[in-house]
Amino acid sequence: MHGAQLTIDPAFAIGPADRRLFGSFVEHMGRCVYGGVYEPGHATADPLGLRRDVLDLTRELGVSVVRYPGGNFVSGYRWEDGVGPVGDRPRRLDLAWKTIETNAFGLNEFMTWADQAGVETMMAVNLGTRGVQEACDLLEYTNHPGGTQLSDLRRKHGVEDPYGVKLWCLGNELDGPWQVGHKTADEYGRLAAETARAMKLIDPSISLVACGSSNSRMPTFASWEATVLEHTYEHVDYISAHTYYDPSDGDRASILASAIDMDGFINDVVATADHVAAKLRQKRKLKISFDEWNVWYESRLKADLDRRGWVEAPALIEDDFTAVDAVVVGDLLITLLRHADRVGVACQAQLANVIAPIRTRNGGPAWRQSIFHPFALTARYARGTVLRTEPVSPSYETRRYGDVPVLDTVALHDEESGELVVFAVNRSEEDLPLDLDLRGLPGLRGVEHLTLAAGDDPEAINTEAEPDRVTPRALPTPTSDGGRCSVRLPAVSWNVLRFGTRP
């Protein structure tokens, strides 16, 4: 294969890498909560039942913000069921995932977990079966200092100081007919605007996310965003985007190019939001909260739901992720970073067990799935300013997306430390020589080249028995000559190339 070229210059800046781009998602679905982050009686559990092994892995993953409690689950959720003495909490039917919700883990348990994990909370309110008052009640409970019924109830429950949650989702996927409380764009837009106005009367410091389309394949895509934003633009700070990529059909060439679709999705939502801004004479540029994304073998979900009755915390979509899936996840992270000027929040769905980077066994260990590694390393090294890159690359043909470059890249420059990091994906089945021109950043030396390569064993997965089968490995440190550097990217690989100014 012919090689690729990449020129990096700090003059071509996109914007700062917001730490909120490295978010995750904890939903009351399957074993994400029960048996995932929470398992009383587990050998590692603390007195509240929080699994310390999962907390340790969450911190290692580098998660910055966690969306809670859903997801589809939130559209039927009664937040007050999950506060107060655990023995007094009701058991409910969860219509979203056809399970029994015990409410043993609720709002205050989650906030304690978030504090121990060192993550910011992104709270979702129920605009499916509930509305303005219930959203305001939840905000009063969490954020008001005291002296009112609900803030004093929080204090009675042992939480003296307000949580100060700053990031709120106005419902979830209400464009989808599968959603409890599904609405038209006008119905949802008006409700979201009314809720936003009321919530900001209670706490003007909060940031709000309006529901965008559930995915770009929805028949109402773009028209939904346009209508919703005409109602809500002046009241919200973000419009959400959700997407998943399913490798089930075995079309490896296309799944490796999934970031092409995510890139187009982001561009379309930005264009729609900017059109509404122009129409409403709004100068402020709205940002995207890409608060659900991942690889997901979605075709397996129906069988998971249909083969059982109403039970507690069944195993749902506990996908085993391959080495190829990890490369795809790394490429999706590259895309999110490349849009750092307009994507302000992103949450990989979900954190534990449910299409997750962390897997556990009830009563047993926790381990890192293959997709854990690109997320953790990107969260660790993506610091400073995102730089625009325009690689010159060979291309290959895909069934879903046509002709696609084999190379995808993004670069970040941290002025404080002087470090440059390049994230690069080689989608090709062959090794790819890459020439880098770094003359715009003189004095850089190679520090490290890490790769997660799927070429030799694309279907490899990490399991309880083999938890480290798919892990990144070090390649020879890049060397530069006069500001030029040549490296080789392994076939079907995600790579981290680090450069610094110190010897």
Query: Using CA atoms in the order 339, 344, 345, 348, what is the torsion angle rounded to 10 degrees?
Result: 10
Residues 428, 395 contacting (CB under 8 angstroms): no
Residue of 415, 489, 417, 402 whose CA lies nearest to 447: 417
Q: How far is CA 256 from CA 259, 319, 392, in A?
A: 8, 18, 18
**406 contacts 427 by C-beta, under 8 angstroms:** yes
What 3-state DSSP class applies to 415?
coil
- Out of 27, 140, 173, 318, pick the active-site residue: 173
419 catalytic per annotation: no
Cα dihedral value 146, 152, 155, 159, nearest 10? -60
CB atoms within 10 A of CB 133: 10
Residue-level length of the chain: 503
User: 31, 350 in Cβ contact below 8 A?
Assistant: no
Q: State both tokens at 421.
A: 């990091």
Do residues 314 and 30 make contact, with C-beta atoms less than 8 angstroms apart?
Answer: yes
Rounded CA-CA distance 459/111 in Å is: 37
What is the DSSP track for 288-310? EEEEEEEE--GGGHHHHHHT--S
Residues 6+ apart with CB under 8 A from 429: 455, 491, 492
- Residue 303 CA to residue 285 CA, distance in Å, equals 42
Q: How far is the C-alpha of 449 from the C-alpha of 470, rounded, in Å?
A: 17
146 vs 160: CA distance, rounded Å: 8
Active site residue 187: no
Q: Which residues pair with 358 in a beta bridge?
A: 352, 368
Integer Cα distance of 443 and 155 in angstroms: 56
Closest CA to 107 of 70, 75, 64, 72: 70
Task: List Cα–Cα distances, 459 to 56, 150, 268, in angstroms.
Answer: 27, 51, 33
Residues 6+ apart with CB under 8 A from 38: 49, 50, 51, 104, 105, 109, 113
Catalytic residue, chosen from 39, 80, 292, 419, is 292
Give the HSE-up count for residue 494: Cα atoms under 13 Å, Cβ half-sphere. 30
Mind telling me the catalytic residues? 173, 292
